Amino acid sequence: MSVVSLFSGIGGLEIGLEQHGFETELLCEIDPAANAVLDEWFPDVPLHDDVQTLGGLPSCELLTAGFPCQDLSLAGGKAGLRGRRSGLVGEVFRLLRNARRKPRWLLFENVPYMLILDRGAGMAALTAELDAAGYAWAYRVVDARSFGLPQRRRRVLLLASRTDDPRDVLLADEGTTNLIEDRPSKVEIGPAYGFYWTMGKMGAGWAREATPPIKGGSGLGIPSPPAIWLSAEDFVGTPQIEDAERLQGFPAGWTEPVLDAPRLKASARWRLVGNAVCPPMAAWVGARLSSPGSFDRSRAVPLASSKWPKAAFGFKGERHAVDISEWPLVGNAALLEDFLKSPLKPLSVRATQGFRSRAMASKEIAWSSEFIESLRVHIERRSREDIAVPA
C-alpha cells in the first residue's frame, strides 16, 4: 500500500510499515531536527514542513498520523484537543474532507491518557469525526514490551477504514506474558529496574526489567533519560542515546544526522527519540494490514458508559468494548541489562541524593529498604570516585 505520513517525527511508523511492503509517498513534519533525520533516511520521499499549509492529500491507501501528544499526556498541559499542539489532529480531517479520493485506511497513534483526560473528550471527538467521514474504527492500548522492547511504553492505536474491518487488524491477536509486575516496595536483588530519577515523592515510573517510557526531556530542551538500577551491583545509571534509540526500536545512531545539521543541538536527539513511534509496533500493524486475522465477535460488549475502555470499536454511533490484553504478541523482551550495548552513565551524587531524599520523605509510595540502601551505597561509592579525580 502507498502511505502518506502526517506528523512523521523520525519515521517510526514508516520504517515499521515498510518492513511489510508499504511505500511512503509523502512525509510531513515541522520539527527541523526531525527533518534532518528524515532527509537522511528517506532521501527520495517528498517532505512537507507544516501540516497546516499542506494543500491536499496525494492519492494513498493508508494515511498515518502520530499527532502531538503534549496536550493529551499526563505530564503535559492537559488541554486536550483544544490545545495548540494536539489540536493539530484537526488538520487530518480538513485534508480528508477536501480529498478527491479518501484513503482506504487511517492510522492514529497517541498516549492512553487521552482516554481519561476530560472524560475522554479527545477520543469522543476523533471517533465522531470518523463516523461523519464514513469510517469504521477500532482502537487498542498496546505495550511496547509485547514487541520485544524492554520499555514499558503504552500507546493507543486507532485504526479506521472505509472498506475493511479494522477489528481484524487490531483486535485479532492476543499474546501471553509471564511478566512480573511488581512494586518499588517489593524488589529482588538480581533484576534491573527502571525509574524516573527526577521523581520519587509522588511517582517514579517503576518498571522491572524495563525502563519507563523514554521522554522527550524538559520544556527547556534538557534531556531527561530514565535511570536504571542494577540491583546486584548497587549501581544507578542512565542509558546512552544510542541505547535509547534501540529501546524505541530504531537502529543505534538513527538520530545522528542531527549532529551534522547547522544550528541544531545534540540534545535534540533525546526529544526526537522520546516523541517517536516504536517501529516494531508499526511493523505488527503492517503485518496484519497485509494479512488480516479474525476478530472473535463474541468478545464484543455494548459500550453503555461514557468511559473509554482499553479497547473498543464502532461505526455510525454504535460503540462496543472489547476485553483484550495490551499484549498482541507473546512478550519476549530481553532482560534489560542484556539488551543494553553501551555502558550506563553513572547517576551523579547530587541527583541520587535528591531522589533518595524525596523517596524517603514520600507518603505516597512505599520504597523497599533494599533499594534505599543500594542508593546509599551508590552515593558513597560515587563520592569516593569523585574525590579521587584530579582537579
Residue 93 burial class via C-beta count within 10 angstroms: exposed 0-12, middle 13-18, buried 19 and up: middle
Q: Structural domain boundaries of the chain?
A: 2-177+276-322
385 within 8 A of 379, measured Cβ to Cβ: no
- Please choose, from the candidates 49, 78, 12, the residue with its C-alpha nearest in 3D space to the C-alpha of residue 274: 12
Per-residue pLDDT reduced to its tens digit, 176-187: 777 777 799 999
Q: What mean pLDDT comes out for the span 146-153?
A: 94
Q: What mean pLDDT comes out for the span 165-175?
A: 96
Q: How confident is the model at residue 11 (pLDDT cuts 50, 70, 90)?
A: very high
Per-residue pLDDT reduced to its tens digit, 28-42: 999 999 999 999 999
Strongest mean pLDDT among 116-130, 222-236, 328-342: 222-236
Per-residue pLDDT reduced to its tens digit, 218-254: 666 678 899 999 999 999 999 999 999 999 999 999 9
For the chain, what is the mean pLDDT? 90
pLDDT at 143: 95
Query: What would the grid cell of residue 332 be?
Result: 519476549
CATH level 3 topology of 2-177+276-322: Rossmann fold (3.40.50)
Q: How confident is the model at residue 84 (pLDDT cuts 50, 70, 90)?
A: very low
* Strand blocks (E) in the chain: 2-6, 23-28, 47-48, 62-65, 105-110, 136-143, 154-161, 192-195, 207-208, 227-230, 235-238, 300-302, 311-315, 318-322, 345-346
288 vs 216 pLDDT, higher one: 288
Q: How confident is the model at residue 81 (pLDDT cuts 50, 70, 90)?
A: very low
pLDDT at 231: 96
pLDDT at 219: 61
Is 60 an annotated catalytic residue? no
Q: How far is CA 112 from the centre of its chain?
A: 10
Least-confidence region, from 109-113, 309-313, 371-375: 109-113
pTM (2 d.p.): 0.91
Cell numbers 540534545 label which residue?
A: 267
pLDDT at 87: 60
Q: Edge-to-edge strands of the sheet including 154-161?
A: 47-48, 23-28, 2-6, 62-65, 105-110, 154-161, 136-143, 311-315, 318-322, 300-302
